[in-house]
Amino acid sequence: MQELPWRWSVQGRIFLIGGLGFIFDAWDVALNGVMIPLLTAEWGLSRTEAAWIGTANLIGMGLGAFVWGTVADRIGRRTAFTATLAMFSVFTVAGALTDSLAWFVAFRFLAGVGLGGTVPVDYALVGEFTPRRLRGRVLTAMDGWWPVGAAACGAVSAWLVATWGDWRLPLLAMVLPALLVFVVRLGVPESPMFLLSRGREARAREVIDRLVAATGAPVRPYSVQSAPSRRRRLRQPHADAATVGGALRAACGQLRSVWLSRPRVTAIAWALFCTIMLTYYLALQWLPAFLVEAGYEQSTAFVMTSGMAAVGLGGVVLAALLVERTGRRWLLAVSATAAAVVLMALAAVIGVPTVALPLVLAFGFVVQVAVPVLYTYVTELYPTPLRASGFGWASAASRVAAGVGPLVFVGVLQPALGLAGSFAVTGALVVIAVAAMLRCAPETRGARLEG
């Protein structure tokens, strides 16, 4: 699997389909930034009430990340990965049909639970199909879909609201494409590495043989080997994992396995995810509101945030070009620290358009060097039976931190320290996490994925 030649019709197809899940994950997170100023004006919300719009959605994503990551490690990447967008679509439509803040927050939470599983499941699936020599670049390039989704959200939302003035339309605009992706995903095969981790050697051989034929690789003998002792520890009945209670019980067991198997790595992964993603989500969700407060027109604020996301595609390209040359750790350390510094500078001059716009774009570029490298690095730190759940739990922790963080940021830090001082605090947290990584975590460039 890890030595096959790359073919766009084989592994590339899985990369493209998996990447579409990123578009909707990014769109949904960016949509919180659109909803906060729109519903603040529509329903006369206070800042704390408005903060719950993003908080509920991100906490739901956090719950979804560890539940779906655990389910994916139990019942398969393909099965879990086809269910996430269906749940998201149902509750996004429900949110658009309510006029109550309480119900809207509840539906955004449930939509987040559905969508929160897309990233950890996608990364595990794509990583396990990708040849080892290209894995760093391909997994890094996966995040190129994120700025596409975030930029599309800002641009489409600005147009819909300016044209029709209805806050519901940005919610509804993403449901039909999400359902289309749900249908397309049904054609993705199950990961042979997952099948082996569950002891299904015959089925794994069938998938591998088809991949060998499809890629045109030379046919040669190979062996397959499971990890029986680990599999016995992690195995749960499929029916139990498919229920909500069973998934939660499995998730708690998987969390214990993640920490017992890789305690130091898991601590560092959580620290990196929580600090870097908190900084990014604060900007993505609250920058439109901060810009409006600084005197910008609402449509201008949406377009500037869309531009911040769009230039991130260049950051992803740079990350993909550098990640195999520099290694994961140093590229992540430099880019994450730089993003924190740029955001602090932006906060200090946010009311000056000629200076603020270049800094908005600079932040969008640099942070999108850091995020895909972070995703790639953490994915490679765990063995196959824990890969989706290890990533999923780190992602879950970051979503919860990014959900609760704004309540503290806008309710406590900003009134006391100002915008620049508040971002200085989040930047200091990033630096601490990066220093811990450089001191205690291994480099994974060129390493073979553990079975």
- Could you report the per-residue pLDDT of 2-26, keeping only the tens digit for each? 789 999 988 888 888 878 777 878 8
- Could you report the per-residue pLDDT of 376-396, keeping only the tens digit for each? 899 888 887 788 778 878 888
Is 36 among the domain residues? yes
b/e map of 289-316 (b: 16 or more CB within 10 Å)?
Answer: bbbbeeebebebbbbbbbbbbbbbbbbb
Contact 276, 433 (CB under 8 A): yes
Task: Report the alpha-carbon angle 59-63-64, nearest 5.
Answer: 115
Is 295 among the domain residues? yes
Picking from 81, 111, 78, 70, the residue whose alpha carbon sits closest to that of residue 93 is 111
CB atoms within 10 A of CB 154: 27
- Could you report the per-residue pLDDT of 173-200, keeping only the tens digit for each? 877 666 666 666 666 788 788 788 788 8
Rounded-to-integer distance, Cα 17 and Cα 6, Å = 16
Quote the DSSP letter at residue 117: T
Is 166 among the domain residues? yes
**Burial of residue 139, with CB atoms counted within 10 A of its CB: 0-12 exposed, 13-18 middle, 19 or more buried:** buried
**Burial of residue 106, with CB atoms counted within 10 A of its CB: 0-12 exposed, 13-18 middle, 19 or more buried:** middle
Overall average pLDDT of the 84-102 stretch = 88
Of all residues in the chain, the percent with pLDDT exceeding 70 is 88
The letter for the amino acid at 443 is E
Query: Which 3 state secondary structure label does DSSP give 179?
Result: helix
Rounded-to-integer distance, Cα 108 and Cα 435, Å = 35
Count of domains in the chain? Answer: 1
Is 450 among the domain residues? no
Is 6 among the domain residues? no
Name every residue whose Cβ is closer than 8 Å to that of residue 377 and which is 6 or more positions away in sequence: 328, 329, 332, 444
Overall average pLDDT of the 300-326 stretch = 91
Q: Would the pLDDT of 28 be above 70?
A: yes
pLDDT score, position 248: 63
What token pair was written down for 153?
């959200």
Picking from 389, 95, 97, the residue whose alpha carbon sits closest to that of residue 241 is 389
Is 276 among the domain residues? yes
pLDDT score, position 358: 96
Is 234 among the domain residues? no
Overall average pLDDT of the 414-419 stretch = 93
Rounded-to-integer distance, Cα 327 and Cα 338, Å = 17
DSSP string over 183-243: HHHTTPPPPHHHHHHTT-HHHHHHHHHHHHHHHTPPP--------HHHHHHH---HHHHHS
pTM: predicted TM-score of the whole model, two decimal places: 0.76
Rounded-to-integer distance, Cα 53 and Cα 174, Å = 18
- Indicate the range of 135-149, 166-180, 229-243, 260-274 predicted with least confidence: 229-243
Of all residues in the chain, the percent with pLDDT exceeding 90 is 38
Is 236 among the domain residues? no
Quote the DSSP letter at residue 6: P
Q: Would the pLDDT of 232 be above 50?
A: no
Domain carrying residue 30: 11-216+242-440
Average confidence score pLDDT of the chain: 85
Picking from 449, 330, 441, the residue whose alpha carbon sits closest to that of residue 394 is 441
Among all chains, which residue has been given the structure tokens 């140093």? Answer: 330
Here the CATH number for the domain that contains residue 349 is: 1.20.1250.20
